[in-house]
Structure 1
Amino acid sequence: MSLFGLIKYLELLAALVAVLYYRKYATSHLRHFVYLLWGVAVVEFTMAEVKHLYEGVVVQNNFVYNLLTSVQYVYFFFVYYYTLKTQRYKKIVAGFLVAFPVAVTINFLWMQRLTLTAPFHSYTFTLGAILLMVTIGLFFAEILNTEKVLYFKRYLMFWISIGLFLFYTGIIPFMVGVNFMPLLLSSDMLSIIFFTLNLVMYSCFITGFALANTYTD
């Protein structure tokens, strides 16, 4: 099994741990996070099964991932919007919530398009990653000025933010490179990097679920 194939087990493990510790964040802004994790895991296992059933046939699945990653970005923008308390920061994230779906719509309709044979939407993936990193930066700036910085190890949102930040910091250079060097997507190095970044991100999520107390907002 390839490293890409192992990623779905990391996703499944994170989803299972999220269920195990659900009571800790059931009343917080992260209460729907478990559904996102399970959605990602189900999609990954379904796509893997489809490839297995149609072995030897090229299965185009970019359509699914183009939709899934766009939904993920919008979800996280909503979570951070409701988590942030600073009105100036909330307005910035609200702007992202408007601008990103508009950019996705333009990309789906006129640029990389949303069709069964369309390429991976690297343009809006990269844009979403940059906007999310800015959003996470605002989150870190805010908690540094609150009492939450004193118990950040028990703050679930902190661990999720660390995981997301490390993942997208590592992936953005390669997504930018894909626009100029498409063959990069099939390289063994990219497989190693994707697996490592996913391992780091989901390890952060799992650590957060285990260490966090019931106060998560």
Structure 2
Amino acid sequence: MSLLGLIKFLELITAILGSVFYKKYSHSFLRYFLFLLWFVVGVEFTMWALKHYNDIRFQNNFIYNVLTSILYIYFFLLYYKIINTARYKRLVFFFLIAFILSVTVNFLWIQGLMLTTPFHSYPFTIGAILLILTIGLFFVEILNTEKVLYFKRYLMFWISVGLFLYYTAIIPYIISLNFLPAFRSSSIWSFIIFTLNLMMYGCFSIGFIVSKKLSD
């Protein structure tokens, strides 16, 4: 099995750990994070099964374009609910609207939304940049609250670290797809993507294990 094929097992392990420790955050907006993790797992294993057991060949960019857009929207909403500083909340809301507009414009007029559509690198990159800025606002806020005293046991800290590492590192490689499309099928690409996913899902898993129950 290739390195890219192993990613779905990282996702599965993370979703299982999220389920085991679900009571820690079940009363918060983070509960939908677990639902999305299992949704991602379901999509990944379904696509794998269709390809390897039924020999069905299809273009999966369409699925990933929709899936990544849903994930971005959820993350922006998550930080909008968690961040308390009014000025920061307005910025996150603006980022959310800007991302939705970028996806809409891209779907309608640039890269399209069809079964044969290419990977939507433009809105993905815009979403990554805006999400990195959002996470930066979150980090700035917790530095000025009592949460900084127990940040290692704060689930959102670990989720934020994982997202920050992944999206910061992946931007150059997503941009390169427009100029070096053959790079996507190289072994270097596979190693990079697997490593980034390992770091991200590793942070999520650590967060589920070491975090304390979120207060109401």
1:118 is matched with 117
CA distance in 1, matches of 2:134, 2:183: 28
Q: Is the 8 A contact 1:156 1:216 kept in 2?
A: no
Match of 1:18 in 2: 18
- Distance, in Å, in 2 between the alignment partners of 1:179 and 1:91 is 32
Displacement of 1:54: 4.5
Aligned partners of 1:94 and 1:196: how far apart in 2? 31
SS, match of residue 81 in structure 1: helix
Aligned positions, number:
216
Cα distance, 1:154 vs structure 2 = 0.5
Which position in structure 1 is the counterpart of 2:66? 67
Q: Distance in 2 between matches of 1:185 and 1:122?
A: 12
Structure 1 runs not aligned, ≥5 long: none
1:157–1:216 CA contact under 8 A, matched in 2: no
Report runs of 4+ in structure 1 exceeding 2 Å deviation.
none
More divergent stretch after superposition (179-188 vs 127-136): 179-188
Q: Provide the identity percentage.
A: 60
Q: Distance in 1 between matches of 2:21 and 2:86?
A: 31
CA distance in 1, matches of 2:54, 2:133: 41
Question: Is structure 2 residue 52 aligned with structure 1 residue 44?
Answer: no
Q: TM-score, normalised by structure 2?
A: 0.97
Distance across 2 between alignment mates of 1:65 and 1:166: 20
Structural RMSD (CA): 1.1
Structure 2 equivalent of residue 96 of structure 1: 95
Match of 1:32, SS state, is helix
Letter in 2 for 1:48: W
Task: Give the structure 2 partner of residue 135 of structure 1.
Answer: 134
1:2 matches 2:2: yes
Preserved CA contact (<8 Å) 1:178 1:184: yes
Partner of 1:206: 205
Secondary structure of the structure 2 residue equivalent to 1:179: coil
Could you report, residue by residue, the CA deviation over 1:49-86 in whole angstroms, capped at 9, with x for unpaired residues? 1111343x642111110000000000000000000001
Residue of structure 1 equivalent to 2:194? 195
Deviations 1:94-136 (A, max 9, x none): 0011111111011011111110001110111111111100000
Q: TM-score, normalised by structure 1?
A: 0.97
